[in-house]
Amino acid sequence: MGVMVQFEFATATRIIFGLGEIGRIGALASGFGGKALLIAGKNLSRVKRLIAYLQDRSVQVVIYQIEGEPTVQEVKEGADFARQNQAELVIGMGGGSVLDAGKAISALATNHGDIYEYLEVIGKGSSLRLSPLPYIAIPTTAGTGSEVTRNAVLGSPEQGLKVSMRSAMMIPRVALVDPELTFSVPSMITASTGLDALTQLIEPFVSAHSNPLTDAICRQGIGLVARSLRIAVQDGGNAVARQEMALASLFGGLALANAKLGAVHGFAGVLGGKYSAPHGAICARLLPEVMRVNARALTERDPENVAIVKYRELAHIMTGDPGASIMDGIDWVENLCADLGSKGLSSFGIKPAHFGDLIVKAQNASSMKGNPIRLTEQELGAILKRGLVDY
């Protein structure tokens, strides 16, 4: 390898992956207790089979719904609900919002007191004192990788921000990933979440905090997205494509939990908190712009940075061409995002007049610290400017 390396890698105690594995939930849950708090989305018909499996193993179920991206207040109320119902474990089944809510609720159910004690940016960011309730995370989309991450992203409408609760203790005890659960996801959501997964593989790969293990995971995951995302969007019933995208999403979660992200997510947290813009849509529009600006800044100011080599390697993986240049890779990502219907940021009400405030807040975001090079205000402004328009 040539240099000495040090790193730490933390993930779920147990990861279970495969078609039909949802059938194991009853046995898994009963090992943690007899009363489960189920965190679900707005469509309860999607959790009927899960509830039946739990009841077959004599696990009682109480349900708490999260109908959009979770807010600080919703999570606080969910933790109160868990305690009132004497829940012994928490199960989250849904997209990233539901899974994040479950992580935070399981943590706050045992760590009493003011939620702001544990929130980053708008709170003290203190460490959890007690272990959360056992948490089983079951994703139904292939994008966030939240089933294996250590943080929960929560909206704070009062501050117009999205902030995180973060602790290694918040990593789910079990990540149960059954690609069958994604078969019915509409093509538009498949595209948006899939591009989020790609972003969460590219950013940790070039991150200033990457390590050999996350690099290996990212290489594999990026290849899976390159091969299967278009197919999954076009043919949702394609079992191979759905399985590969579920695996890519899982890999992205493993990578981002152990290597930081970058400027795309630095902006996404700020934009998502202030505007009604889906996280995946923001990532899709900003990803090629951040790649372009990063590549130029690295070449001009830090030409020995290993991220330059990695951007070239990304191009080789995505295009399948060993002679592809960095710009070929960026063009490939841009064409993919355009073909999958990604819209400009202006469609969410974002205007140039807002850039100053957005840039200041993004610079303070945790994700920005992982960017391979520190970007100037002018470079961040250029990313937003190009991101305003449709492809």
One pLDDT digit (tens) per residue for the chain, 391 residues? 455 678 888 888 899 999 999 999 999 999 999 999 999 998 898 999 999 999 999 999 999 999 888 999 999 999 999 999 999 999 999 999 999 999 999 999 999 888 888 898 888 888 899 999 999 999 999 989 999 999 998 988 887 778 889 999 999 999 999 999 999 999 999 999 999 999 999 999 999 999 999 999 999 999 999 999 999 999 999 999 999 999 999 999 999 999 999 999 999 988 987 887 788 889 999 999 999 999 999 999 999 999 999 999 999 999 999 999 999 999 999 999 999 988 899 999 889 998 999 999 999 888 899 999 999 999 999 999 999 988 7
Query: What confidence tens digit (pLDDT) does each residue in 254-294 have?
Result: 999 999 999 999 999 889 878 877 888 899 999 999 999 99
CATH class of the region 14-182? alpha beta
Q: Say if residues 132 and 193 touch (Cβ distance below 8 Å).
A: no
Residues 6+ apart with CB under 8 A from 56: 26
What is the pTM (predicted TM-score) of this model?
A: 0.93
What pLDDT is attached to residue 2?
56
* CATH architecture type of domain 187-387: Up-down Bundle (1.20)
**What is the H or E stretch that residue 82 is in?**
helix 72-84
Residues 6+ apart with CB under 8 A from 263: 286, 290, 293, 294, 362, 367, 368, 371, 375, 380, 383
What pLDDT is attached to residue 57?
96
DSSP helix/strand/coil, 134: coil
Q: In angstroms, rounded to a whole number, what is the distance separating the alpha carbons of residues 105 and 77?
A: 9
Nearest to 214 by CA among 205, 222, 202, 203: 205
DSSP helix/strand/coil, 293: helix
What pLDDT is attached to residue 94?
95
Task: Name 153's bridge partners.
Answer: 164
Q: In angstroms, rounded to a whole number, what is the distance separating the alpha carbons of residues 247 and 253?
A: 10
Pairing of strands 135-139, 89-94: parallel
DSSP code of 275? S
How many Cβ atoms are within 10 Å of 300's Cβ, its own excluded?
9
- As a residue count, the chain comes to 391
Nearest to 171 by CA among 247, 256, 230: 256
Q: In angstroms, rounded to a whole number, what is the distance separating the alpha carbons of residues 389 and 70?
A: 28
Q: What are the C-alpha distances in Å from 138 to residues 50, 171, 178, 216, 371? A: 10, 13, 8, 24, 30
Nearest to 334 by CA among 202, 181, 221: 202
Q: In the chain, where are the structural domains located?
A: 14-182, 187-387
Can you list the positions of beta strands (E) in the chain?
Answer: 14-17, 35-40, 60-65, 89-94, 135-139, 151-156, 161-166, 174-177
